[in-house]
Amino acid sequence: MKKIKVLIVDDSAVVRQVISALLKNEPDIEMLAPASDPIFALKKMAVQWPDVIILDVEMPRMDGITFLKQLMADHPTPVIICSTLTERGAEVTIQALQAGALTIITKPKAGLKDFLQESRQELLNAVRAAAQAKLENIFKPSHNAVKKVQATVQAITHSSPALKTTQKVIVIGTSTGGTQALEAILTALPAVSPGIVIVQHMPEKFTAMFADRLNGLCQIEVREAKHGDRVLPGLALIAPGGRHMQLNRSGAHYQVKIKDGPAVNRHKPSVDVLFRSAAKQAGPNAVGFILTGMGDDGARGLQMLKEHGAFTVAQDEASCIVFGMPKEAIERGGVCSVLPLNQIAQEILQRASSRHQ
């Protein structure tokens, strides 16, 4: 069995020591000698190239973002960001995801050793998913591909002027690679789009920054959801990190409930929590999408959506960065259609149009 070679790049000796200790005894993982900054890392990588890099963002001599951009330009390699749970850490980490990092592992300023030990399974899952990731799917499609998607979306919008955006609610679940997938979908949607509710696996503090960034890129409004927010046409609500989000029907309208509670499928927010609520509250008025991500969160919920009359879609393997969540959903029989990423925006509009009521 070929082992996954992992390199830690972090200026904290404690972080390097603890992560190395957590991973080194795994039979499928080989820990390379860690580096205290990207300059040292590059020297080590000249001798032996890692399969996965666990990278801090704020380091002396060269920061993680500069290193990441250089890496992705010269020799794309799966990168997991190890970031502090601060607003500054969140802002920089969103930049790292934009530059091609796969996912985030957070670290507190205090109680680091205990925290990382508690997060061991999450870290192992992230490393194993990163080792299988299709990096060619991280980067934005060509300009022509974007124009083609937008032209198709525009055609659908014009051919369906009576788009019943109040009738359908779109629910989306995603994890590893989802930040790039969501950007591709949401930036292709016109301002007149059905209401969208999203769970992206991401820690607290990070979701607000991520939503703000998307809001600046999209024609629709994108924001982190707050308890009681109405689901409205032209609005995408992203579940806040560290809290679950449910869909609730209130008279003729839908709104979201934000609640605390134990993690579901090791995640909070959990895709299953959102999908199960959408099945019960919206039934055939919901359209469910499960996108790139590791694990099986959302597979049972999507199956429940389908059983309640909703149309359900999984992203196809070829366009996924990690084909874990969609694969599980397909194998459970909860998927009506399998589509590539560049067709999902148009599917959202088609499903919201009168032809598919």
Collapsing DSSP to helix, strand or coil, 185 comes out as helix
Catalytic residue check, 229: no
Residues 203, 241 contacting (CB under 8 angstroms): yes
CA distance 296 to 317: 15
Residues 81, 101 contacting (CB under 8 angstroms): yes
Nearest CA to 188 out of 152, 231, 158, 163 is that of 152
Nearest CA to 87 out of 189, 208, 260 is that of 208
Catalytic residue check, 308: no
DSSP state of 35: B
Nearest CA to 37 out of 8, 17, 15 is that of 8
Instruction: List the beta bridge partners of residue 199.
Output: 173
Catalytic residue check, 63: no
Query: Which candidate in 36, 175, 277, 353 is catalytic?
Result: 175
Instruction: List the beta bridge partners of residue 244.
Output: 259
CA distance 30 to 23: 8
Nearest CA to 253 out of 167, 351, 349, 348 is that of 167
Collapsing DSSP to helix, strand or coil, 183 comes out as helix
Query: Which candidate in 10, 51, 83, 201 is catalytic?
Result: 201
Query: Which candidate in 297, 308, 316, 353 is catalytic?
Result: 297
Amino acid residing at 188: A
Residues 6+ apart with CB under 8 A from 250: none
Q: Which helix (H) or strand (E) holds 103?
A: strand 103-107
Residues designated catalytic: 175, 201, 297
